[in-house]
Structure 1
Amino acid sequence: MTTNSRHHLPANSTRSGPYSLNITPSWASWTSLRILDLPPGGRHTFPTGDSEWIVLPLTGGCTVFTEGEAFELQGRASPFTATTDFVYAPRDTHLTLATALGGRFALPGARCQRRLPARYRPASGIPVELRGSGPCSRQVNNFAAADTFECDRLIAVEVLTPGGNWSSYPPHKHDQEHPGEESALEEIYYYEIAEAQGTAGLGYQRVTPSGPGHRTDVLAEVRTGDAVLIPDGWHGPSIAAPGHDMYYLNVMAGPGAERAWLIRDHPDHAWIRGTWPRQPVDPRLPLYPAGDPR
């Protein structure tokens, strides 16, 4: 079930070479996201061009070569088992991934101006936040949030929603510049859904129009490997089917002079935040703490 399929990219619909997902600024304006599948002994090189990039292991680990340095990423078994270490690579260079055992790697990127140094961050340094409460409880891994890791434009976080819960809720937006109130950020959501009882899972994503010139309207059934493009609009909820935990990677960037995540809640639903102090956080969270080696 999908409305406005231009913004819903089912798994493998943009497959290109080793990338099972390949979203570039030709699809978006500022952001990129590639999902790179490498077999055992696999190696892949690409130019960073006018964008900054992060190498984020989804499964497996790798060695990253860039700027004359080699960074070893231990990685993880899956996004549902642990945080992961990652590498940042600047624009105007080359980036190589090499893996002995194989793996799947997310490559979020954003067009940028400044050329920052290549850097490594360990899994133990990833801030893990519990957001919301009750059925709106979710876990946020703030690996490259605006206030946790320096980039020029790129903002990226991971969100884990226990089965049956709603996240990205209340619906919110960041599609217009209101100084001090709202950033101008386009966004990509990339999903993986946990299997249960031998059955693949699913979830739902809603985006509604937010005003003149901002007409994005999406109701998508999402599965592992899917992505949703959100150039504007009220986005949320992201709904995890009961029994199936939902993971999504958020990739954001925009034209604003300040790299910040400032949002406005939908006025019809903002009241839900006021109910959170009266409800406990879902006891299933956190799925794992920062640096958990499981």
Structure 2
Amino acid sequence: MDHHTGQHTARPPYVAAGHAADPPYALRVDPEDAGWGYSALRVLQLAPGGAHTLAAGDSEWIVLPLSGGCTVRVDDGIFELQGRKSVFSGVSDFAYVPRDAHAQIASGAGGRFALAGAKCERRLPARYGPAPEVPVELRGAGVCSRQVNNFAAAGVFECDRLIAVEVLTPGGNWSSYPPHKHDEHRPGVESALEEIYYFEIADDGLGYHRVSPSRPGGADTLAEVRTGDAVLIPDGWHGPSIAAPGRDMYYLNVMAGPGPERQWLICDHPDHAWIRDTWPSQPVDPRLPLYTAAGSDSEENPR
């Protein structure tokens, strides 16, 4: 949606940095923009001393610092987010903003803050998510090794529909591999989830991301991605996400869908699923974890 004209124009799958800006948002993708029903992502940029009021509307939101810290005032709570220097420097704390709330986000030093959202039905309490409680998972092995910060994964942090995690891929490695999909509701097997990938690449580097069709006329994208870019995935096999040698890749995954249960259930591409069978015989990339949550231990779960 053009938030100045009120006209609805669905975003293309690949959204280059700046192409979905709506100040103070460096990126704004709401469900109407994406042409789907649930998932949203905004990247809020605040100058030193800056403040912004988020009207949650019919969506739940998580305020996640990408760089810098902030104060989030919502309902009767005041949450001081310590944040971090960058997405490559550490796990961040975060705040949950329920639907139908008005939250004020203020930053004395300034910074950039991801607002991950999902249209939802239940109004849950506003809450603080401490960084030490974020499970840090090492997934895959060898050149398929990556790190997952499961800050709002299903079963980790309660939301109504929103699922959100961070993935860090060392330079030269492949993640979101094997390609997988979650575009059909098949109880116990696969969830129907719309997904947004938001990328940051260390040291002004680049990476590549692939989405291939899982059905006739489905999503089909091969994008060179840089810091600030996003890819919208309504359906299709997504992956790999490829980090260029010497340049670590970060992406934030935001997911939500219509299913009766909040679950992340995926189906691997049948031509590439065999790669999982090779992981038990390989070590995890020794560069991982890039960092851990203070006071927590990382765990290996090669999915």
* TM-score tier (shorter): over 0.9
Instruction: Give how far 1:292 is off.
Output: 7.4
Q: Indicate whether 1:284 and 2:287 are aligned.
A: yes
TM-score by length of 1: 0.95
Equivalent of 1:70 in 67, 78, 81: 78
Equivalent of 1:219 in 204, 219, 222: 222
The corresponding residue for 2:20 is 14
RMSD (Å) for aligned C-alpha atoms: 1.2
The corresponding residue for 1:124 is 132
Structure 1 CA distance for aligned equivalents of residues 293 and 208 of structure 2: 27
Specify the SS of the correspondent of 2:12. helix
The corresponding residue for 2:160 is 152
Residue pair 2:139, 2:148 contacting (<8 A) in 1 also: yes
The corresponding residue for 2:43 is 35
Instruction: Give how far 1:211 is off.
Output: 1.6
The corresponding residue for 1:252 is 255
Equivalent of 2:200 in 179, 185, 192: 192
The corresponding residue for 1:236 is 239
Which amino acid is 2:29 matched to?
I
Residue pair 1:84, 1:291 contacting (<8 A) in 2 also: no
Structure 2 CA distance for aligned equivalents of residues 265 and 229 of structure 1: 19
Specify the SS of the correspondent of 2:32. coil
Which structure 1 residue ranges, 5 or more long, are not aligned?
none
Residue pair 1:83, 1:292 contacting (<8 A) in 2 also: no
Structure 2 CA distance for aligned equivalents of residues 235 and 25 of structure 1: 19
Which structure 2 residue ranges, 5 or more long, are not aligned?
1-10, 297-303
The number of residue pairs the alignment matches comes to 284
Which amino acid is 1:84 matched to?
S
Q: Deviations over 1:220-246 (max 9, x none)?
A: 000000000000000000000000000
Residue pair 2:54, 2:105 contacting (<8 A) in 1 also: no
Which amino acid is 1:27 matched to?
D
The corresponding residue for 2:103 is 95
Alignment of 1:45-60 (within 5 A): 45-60=53-68
Specify the SS of the correspondent of 1:6. coil
Mean Cα deviation higher: 22-31 or 36-45:
22-31
Q: Deviations over 1:205-225 (max 9, x none)?
A: 00000024x610000000000
Instruction: Give how far 1:291 is off.
Output: 2.2
Residue pair 1:208, 1:216 contacting (<8 A) in 2 also: yes
Specify the SS of the correspondent of 1:124. helix
4+ runs deviating over 3 angstroms: none
Residue pair 2:122, 2:160 contacting (<8 A) in 1 also: yes
Which amino acid is 2:182 matched to?
H
Structure 1 CA distance for aligned equivalents of residues 63 and 295 of structure 2: 19
Residue pair 1:82, 1:292 contacting (<8 A) in 2 also: no
Q: What is the aligned-residue identity percentage?
A: 70
Equivalent of 2:207 in 199, 203, 208: 203
Residue pair 1:51, 1:110 contacting (<8 A) in 2 also: yes
Instruction: Give how far 1:90 is off.
Output: 0.3
Q: Deviations over 1:37-75 (max 9, x none)?
A: 001000000210000000000000000000021110000
Structure 2 CA distance for aligned equivalents of residues 142 and 96 of structure 1: 25
Which amino acid is 1:210 matched to?
S
Which amino acid is 1:222 matched to?
V
Structure 2 CA distance for aligned equivalents of residues 74 and 39 of structure 1: 16
Structure 1 CA distance for aligned equivalents of residues 132 and 54 of structure 2: 28
Mean Cα deviation higher: 5-14 or 73-82:
5-14
